[in-house]
Each structure stands twice: as structure tokens, then as C-alpha cells.
Amino acid sequence: MAEIDKERVLSELRRIAAPDGRGNIVSAGLVSEVAIDGGQVMFALNAEPAHMKSMEQLRIAAEKAVAGIPGVTRAIVALTAERAASRTPGPKASSAGQLRNGVPGIKHLVAVASGKGGVGKSTTAINLALAFKTLGLRVAVLDADVYGPSMPKLFGLAGKPEASDAPGKRMKPLARFGVEVASIGFLIDEGTPMIWRGPMVMSALTQLLREVEWSEADVMVMDLPPGTGDAQLTLAQQTPLSAAVIVSTPQDLALIDARKGLNMFRKVNVPVAGIVENMSYFVCAKCGTRHEIFGHGGARAEAERLGVPFLGEIPLDTEVRVRSDRGEPVLEYMPDSLHTAVYRDIARQVWVGLEGGQLGRPAPRIVVED
Ligand code: ADP
């Protein structure tokens, strides 16, 4: 199949008017570098944070226009709040992982991390994974949270994995919602008190990466243990991560923790795809009023200050918690919700970053004092 012509993509995009009478979206400088990989076309549209809502219509129009070009099998357009001018194209995201051995059949390994527990890291990980799936990607989830593996619960999966007959493999992953899952919970008996040291975490994780009979996947989402201690550092250092997503609540304390997470990944040269603000604000189901319980917006400001993309804000929602705890993830059970839209938005941005080579920009140097 002939390679898709970038000029053809741009000429389709030039038919789409930019907001405020500023010509078309290409001439107005809203379109990032266009990445083409086989039949897949990806790019970002840069939007001011205040105009995200109206830009969504342009995003859909751009995706449609590109999807209509003969030979295009998948068009993914993400909205980012970053200006084109400030983007310095970095090395392709996967180059960070080339130093270490990749996992055969898995194109990108994306870690979801947080500075501390209870901020919604695992909830973000499962919904991000399911959001990737809605983009037409093949997805797997690896639950590496040694302190509290929660993927079996969040996926509503009970039972033990089956043994595998494949050479060199020990077990098959479990699967639900079209996503394969393996959890560190499979390797330990529930209720056995354990102290995990770095090397033990690493050998358990190596088993999950190499000895599980994974199918091929475009992206594997890895739920890391919360925190920035030795165990996390070892994982970040020794797994072939393409990128990391950091989850934080807006509280100051959590943000300081998020900064530590950021630093940890920078130390080991793993590109940070961005920060997600979870439990960002609360919309009262009865009166519709928006309550900014933890002082909303902290993560966005912090991300800007630290020079990493801000990926989105996820509201606090009682139904999300109740359903999550029942193994009913938002993406599957609340498909028309704002949450689903935000997770899909985050997934698009991360995917465009991974495939479009826009991750791994040189980051400002930050020193954290302990
Ligand atoms: P972590 O992995 O950071 O420890 P979890 O994802 O397990 O955090 O979330 C902790 C608790 O908060 C869970 O009960 C989860 O259902 C709930 N939770 C997470 N995100 C939200 C949200 N946006 N709205 C409401 N509850 C949430």
C-alpha cells in the first residue's frame, strides 16, 4: 500500500476554518507535526485551555476529514493545550525504551504512576486502557501495584489464571472488555503479609512481562505501585517504558508528590506524557453546582510550571466510585459521561505523543529537596 502523503493530509485540513476568522487550522498554526505510520495518521490540534470545548468540534471535523483520505485506516487527533511553537520535536518516544529490551509483541508500555496512594491511579489506569481500546487499539493491562493490586477488582475478574502450554510461558492472562489483564495479585496469595524489596518486585514483574502469554498489543498500561521509593524507581529503570502518566489530586500535598514522580521518571529518562488531575471538582447531582473541594486547577498550573503536558481533569463523582468498586469501569458502564469523554481525550493525547514522536522533549531540570 502506498504511503499516505503528508501534503494530502494537510490539504484536507486546510479546508477547515480556524476559530475567530484566523484562516484555516493549518495556516493558523494549530496543527502539530503530522505523524504517519502505515495507514495510521496522528497529530494534535493546539487549543487554548479556555477554548477546549469549541475546539472539540474542530477535532472531530479534522479526524473525519483525514479518515476520508483513501488508504487511511485510523485517524487520531488529540487536543492539547500546548502551543505549537513551544514544541521542540524530541526523539521518538520509544527510543527511551530501546536501551532496555522491549516486550515482544507489545508496542508501547505506558506506566501510570502517582506520588502517593488513594489519588485514583488505578481508576485512571483501567479507564485509560479502555479508552485506548475505543480508539481501535489493542490493549493489555499489567497490574504492578505490589501494595494493593486492584485490577482484578476493577475489571470484575475473579479466579486464577490458567497455566500456559506455550514455550517459556507460565500462565495466560485473564481478559474482560476485550482487554487482557495480569496482576501481581496472581503471583501472591491474598492475605500473605509481604515486604516487597526492589529486587523481588522486579522479579515478579519480569514474570508478568515475560512469562504471561500476552497477545500482541499496541499499548500495555502498567499500574505502578504508588509512591516514588526504591521499588518504583527500579520498575521505572528496568522496564522498557515508552512513557509515564502521572495522576494527582489538586491538593498541594499531592502535587508535591506528583513532582517527585516526575523527577523519578526524568532521572531514568522515561518521557512523562503528562499529568492528570483526578477528583478535580465535584458536580452536585441534585443542584448541578460545581464544588471545587480540593482547590481545582492546581495540577494544570503545576504542569505548566514544570513544562509537562496537562492531560485533563477528571471530576469527583460518587457513581464512579460505586461502579469502580463493583468492577464496572466508567468507559464501559457510563459511555456517554463526561468522564468517558475526558479519558478518551487523555488517551488520544498519549497515543499521539507515543506514535507521533512528540514525547521525550528535553525537560527543564528540577531539583527536589527531600
Ligand atoms: P490509587 O490507585 O491511587 O490508590 P484508586 O484508583 O484505587 O487509587 O482510587 C481510590 C478510591 O477513590 C477508589 O475507591 C476509587 O473508586 C475512588 N475514585 C478514584 N477516582 C475517582 C473519581 N474521579 N471520583 C470518585 N471516586 C474516585
3-state SS of 280-343 is EEEECCCCCCEECCCCCCHHHHHHHHHCCCEEEEEEECHHHHHHHHCCCCHHHHCCCCHHHHHH
Task: Report which residue type is found at 107.
Answer: K
Q: What stretches of the chain show up as alpha helix (H) in DSSP?
A: 6-13, 52-67, 121-134, 151-154, 198-210, 230-238, 252-267, 298-306, 318-325, 330-333, 338-355
> Residue 191: what pLDDT?
65
> Residue 296: what pLDDT?
65
> Residue 110: what pLDDT?
96
Strand partners, 176: 179
> Residue 202: what pLDDT?
80
Q: How far is the CA of 279 from the centre of ligand 1 (A)?
A: 8
Pair 141, 129: CB distance under 8 Å:
yes
Query: For ligand 1, is residue 239 a contact (CB within 6 Å)?
Result: no
The span from the first CA to the last CA of the chain, in angstroms, equals 55
- Residues near 234 by Cβ (< 8 Å), separated by ≥ 6? 198, 199, 201, 202
CA distance to 76, 110, 128, 130, per residue, from 134 (Å): 11, 17, 10, 7
- Residues near 365 by Cβ (< 8 Å), separated by ≥ 6? none
Alpha carbons 150 and 361: distance in angstroms, whole number? 32
Query: For ligand 1, is residue 114 a contact (CB within 6 Å)?
Result: yes
C-alpha cell at 358: 512528540
118 Cα nearest atom in ligand 1: 4
- 50, burial (CB in 10 Å: exposed 0-12, middle 13-18, buried 19+): exposed
Alpha carbons 151 and 212: distance in angstroms, whole number? 16
Q: How far is the CA of 112 from the centre of ligand 1 (A)?
A: 13
pTM above 0.75, yes or no: yes
**370 residues of the chain, pLDDT tens digit each:** 568 999 999 999 999 999 888 899 999 989 988 989 889 999 988 887 677 778 888 999 999 999 999 999 999 998 887 543 333 333 333 333 333 567 888 999 999 999 888 899 999 999 999 999 999 999 999 999 888 889 999 999 988 899 999 988 889 999 999 999 999 888 776 666 667 766 777 888 888 888 999 999 999 999 999 988 877 888 888 888 999 999 998 876 667 778 888 889 988 889 999 999 998 777 777 777 777 766 666 777 778 888 889 999 998 888 889 999 999 999 999 999 999 999 999 999 999 999 876 664 433 344 444 4
Q: Residue 222's closest CA among 151, 314, 311, 163?
A: 151
Alpha carbons 256 and 260: distance in angstroms, whole number? 7
Please give the domain boundaries of the chain with CATH numbers for all domains: 6-93 (3.30.300.130), 102-356 (3.40.50.300)
Q: How far is the CA of 301 from the centre of ligand 1 (A)?
A: 22
Pocket test for ligand 1, best of 116, 119, 123 (most atoms within 8 A of CB): 123
Q: How far is the CA of 203 from the centre of ligand 1 (A)?
A: 28
In this structure, the number of other CB atoms found within 10 A of the CB of residue 98 comes to 11
Instruction: Identify the residue whose C-alpha is closest to ligand 1 atom 17.
Output: 321
Pair 266, 272: CB distance under 8 Å:
yes
Pocket test for ligand 1, best of 318, 324, 326, 340 (most atoms within 8 A of CB): 324
